[in-house]
Amino acid sequence: MGRVSPRLLLVEDDDHIRTPLRWALEDEGYEVAEAASGEDACRQVAAAVPDLMVVDLMLGAMDGFAVIREVRRAHDLPIVVVSARADTHDIVAALEAGADDYVTKPFQVKEITARLRALRRRAGAGGGPDERPQEVVLDHDMAGNLVLRPERGSVHRGDQQVHLTLTEFRLLCELAASTGRVLSRQALLERVWEHGFFGDERLVDVHVRRLRTKVERDPSAPRLVVTVRGLGYRLDPQ
């Protein structure tokens, strides 16, 4: 039985960019579907959820930010943003909307494919029993303990699953593997994103903020994922 190609939805309204990028992605082994608008992208995701998405921000009435937020309501698939908008505010806004990574235009196709390969490796990565504990209690709470299960790829608070994106889950696993020790932003970039050449520490800060909204009792006063000023982040189980 042959290997199944990963399904990728390419959301880009400029034909001159979308068509050659599709060809390049298909050359890399992806099964590519196209969407020229945000509305069409959401319809396609509702009909058949892809394995990955590449999304432009400037799409017209329904922009890329809105597309990402809509997809994130129900799905944890990896999302890479490609956009000419390189302002810090736009990058942070895209990440906070739920993107896993951000590439600015003009770009080399090999940069996009490198990011996608890293996301796929992370999706398939799993530590063996000697590398990762089967279960880590992060927060003891009468309302239900917060439990991380690295091998199962899940986090639960009591009987309820906490839905994390792939990047949020990997970030939590790396922090849990170094419980009580500070990890610098650069170290987290290298361990979670797997491509230190990008080197943008905003990725870490934004994903930590998103992670806190899901795992902290009070995200405005975090006690689990702690900032160590000038150094990085530390996980302190409660």
pLDDT tens for each residue of 84-131: 877 778 888 888 888 888 888 777 788 888 888 877 776 655 444 345
Task: Please count the residues of the chain.
Answer: 238
Of 124, 146, 180, which residue constitutes the final position of a domain?
Answer: 124
Structure tokens of 189?
A: 């970039």
pLDDT tens for each residue of 44-57: 999 999 999 999 99
SS3 labels along 56-120: ECCCCCCCHHHHHHHHHCCCCCCEEEEECCCCHHHHHHHHHHCCCEEEECCCCHHHHHHHHHHHH
pLDDT tens for each residue of 144-178: 788 898 878 889 888 888 888 888 898 999 999 88
Measured CA to CA, the distance from residue 77 to residue 67 in angstroms comes to: 13
212 in Cβ contact with 219 (< 8 Å): yes
pLDDT, residue 180, reads 87
- The answer to the question of residue 203 being in a domain is yes
Measured CA to CA, the distance from residue 170 to residue 88 in angstroms comes to: 24
Could you tell me if 26 and 103 lie in one domain?
Answer: yes
pLDDT tens for each residue of 173-208: 999 988 889 999 988 888 887 655 455 778 889 899
Could you tell me if 155 and 209 lie in one domain?
Answer: yes
Could you tell me if 187 and 111 lie in one domain?
Answer: no
pLDDT, residue 8, reads 95
**E strands along the chain, which residues?**
7-11, 31-35, 52-56, 79-83, 101-104, 136-139, 146-149, 154-157, 160-161, 225-228, 232-235
Pairing state of beta strands 136-139 and 101-104? Answer: unpaired
Measured CA to CA, the distance from residue 225 to residue 215 in angstroms comes to: 9
Could you tell me if 71 and 11 lie in one domain?
Answer: yes
Of 98, 124, 150, which residue constitutes the final position of a domain?
Answer: 124
195 in Cβ contact with 118 (< 8 Å): yes
Could you tell me if 145 and 222 lie in one domain?
Answer: yes
Domain that holds residue 70: 7-124
What rounded mean pLDDT belongs to the chain?
A: 85
CA 55 to the chain's CA centroid: 13
- The answer to the question of residue 130 being in a domain is no
Between 4 and 7, whose confidence is greater? 7
Total structural domains within the chain? 2
* Short-list 107, 100, 93, 110, CA closest to 165: 100
pLDDT at 133 over 50: yes
Check which CATH number belongs to the domain holding 222 and give it.
1.10.10.10
